Amino acid sequence: MPTNGRYYVYLITNWNNKVMYVGVTNNLERRIYEHKNKLVKGFTEKYNVSKLVRFLPLVETRDVTTAIAREKEIKKWRREKKDQLVNRMNPNWEDLSSG
């Protein structure tokens, strides 16, 4: 995926959808590959979080700080609200990166 100023806020989870991680990237394909292959040290590696369940392209901006602000906003949400965000577009919580 070319970057050309497009940033993604993404939500990934583990196999049973119990643990959720919110991140931001300008290359979603590469970033999910890194999570799946445990190349990202820390939380996602420790809790085996690599199933992409939702992503939000922020095409309006070339400013990464806007994308980071959105990521931080979503991170502050209660789990129920994050679940609703996923359920709207991915009610079966399928891995959007597989295929």
CATH number assigned to the domain comprising residue 69: 3.40.1440
Q: Bigger pLDDT: 58 or 4?
A: 58
**Could you report the per-residue pLDDT of 2-33, keeping only the tens digit for each?**
445 789 999 999 999 999 999 999 999 999 99
Name, in order, each residue with C-beta under 8 angstroms of 40's C-beta and a sequence gap of 6 or more.
Answer: 34
| 34 found inside a domain | yes
| 54 found inside a domain | yes
1 pLDDT above the threshold of 80: no
| 46 found inside a domain | yes
Name, in order, each residue with C-beta under 8 angstroms of 22's C-beta and a sequence gap of 6 or more.
Answer: 9, 10, 11, 71, 74, 75, 82
| 74 found inside a domain | yes
Q: What does pTM read for this prediction?
A: 0.89
Give the pLDDT of residue 4: 58
Backbone angles phi, psi at 45, to 5 degrees: -70, -45
Q: What is the DSSP letter of 26?
A: S
Half-sphere exposure of 23 (CA within 13 A, CB side): 22
Closest to 21 measured CA to CA, from 59, 58, 48 = 48
